[in-house]
């Protein structure tokens, strides 16, 4: 049982999606995250145990390596893809309530901005950390954030922007959220923003990378 979870952790950490996946070379021909998750469930390992003892620590390692510049976006995307293959097998257990999510995380790229790689990485990391993620996509106005927050009481909102021309829209969206839902927690992130900007527009949290988002979310529920 422990060995199976360790293999799953390794598959996710190094981005081995399934058996036919050629990446990474050292795991070529071996089972990937897809097969290992199914085997774990078939052998009676609980879905919560799979999440807490394999997927969460794997993505934690990936996030730390990315922060330390030991891996880069392509490797992180492969790890996120492997984690996604495992999570597909666990989704029914979230729906049934057998897996308890730590909370709901609503993320989108703000109005006027169509970039989504950073947003997608954050969403995948947060999902791998045990949160339910609602991805609103790109070019997201205040109204869609407000609708999602009202439909998911207690959820955390996250705003992403890559352009200096669209980061100004973050202030408008944060203001609209706080006006209608004062207690809502709002994260902001993206290449042109920083902690000073976050404070200036009334945001609650800023993180320079996906691992930083995960760590701050942990502090909210610890």
What are the extents of the domains in the chain?
2-96, 104-221
d(CA 167, CA 154): 25
In angstroms, what CA-CA distances link 32 with 5, 36, 47, 147, 179? 12, 6, 17, 38, 46
**pLDDT surpassing 80 at residue 41:** yes
User: What pLDDT was estimated at residue 97?
Assistant: 80
| H-state helical runs in the chain | 2-14, 33-42, 47-50, 56-67, 73-96, 117-128, 142-151, 164-180, 195-201, 210-221
48 three-class SS: helix
**pLDDT surpassing 90 at residue 101:** no
Query: What is the pLDDT of the chain when averaged over all its residues?
Result: 93
Give tens-digit pLDDT for 52-86. 999 989 998 998 998 899 999 899 889 989 999 99
Measured in degrees and rounded to the nearest 5, phi and psi for residue 196 equal -65, -45
Q: Which CATH superfamily is domain 104-221 in?
A: Cobalamin-binding domain (3.40.50.280)
CA-based torsion, 34, 39, 42, 46: positive or negative? negative
Give tens-digit pLDDT for 140-190. 999 999 999 999 999 999 999 999 999 999 999 999 999 999 999 999 999
| Residues 176, 142 contacting (CB under 8 angstroms) | yes
CATH topology identical between 2-96 and 104-221: no
Quick one: angle between helices 73-96 and 56-67, nearest 10?
150
Identify the CATH number of the domain defined by range 2-96. 1.10.1240.10
CA-based torsion, 113, 144, 175, 123: positive or negative? negative
Give tens-digit pLDDT for 13-30. 999 999 999 999 999 999
């Amino acid at each position: 049982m422990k060995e199976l979870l360790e293999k799953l952790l390794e598959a996710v950490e190094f981005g081995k999606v399934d058996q036919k996946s050629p990446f990474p070379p050292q795991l070529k021909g071996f089972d990937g995250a897809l097969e290992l998750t199914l085997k774990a469930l078939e052998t009676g390992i609980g879905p919560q145990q799979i999440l807490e003892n394999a997927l969460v620590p794997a993505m934690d390692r990936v996030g730390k390596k990315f922060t330390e510049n030991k891996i880069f976006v392509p490797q992180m995307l492969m790890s996120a893809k492997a984690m996604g293959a495992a999570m597909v097998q666990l989704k029914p257990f979230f729906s049934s309530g057998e897996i308890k999510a730590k909370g709901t995380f609503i993320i989108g790229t703000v109005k006027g901005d169509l970039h989504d790689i950073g947003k997608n990485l954050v969403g995948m990391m947060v999902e791998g950390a045990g949160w339910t993620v609602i991805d609103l996509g790109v070019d997201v106005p205040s109204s869609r954030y407000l609708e999602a927050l009202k439909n998911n009481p207690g959820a955390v909102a996250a705003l992403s922007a890559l352009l200096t021309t669209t980061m100004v829209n973050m202030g408008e969206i944060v203001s609209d959220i706080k006006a209608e839902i004062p207690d809502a927690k709002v994260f902001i992130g993206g290449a042109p923003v920083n902690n000073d900007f976050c404070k200036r527009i009334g945001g609650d949290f800023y993180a320079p990378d996906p691992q930083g988002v995960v760590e701050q979310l942990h502090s909210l529920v610890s």
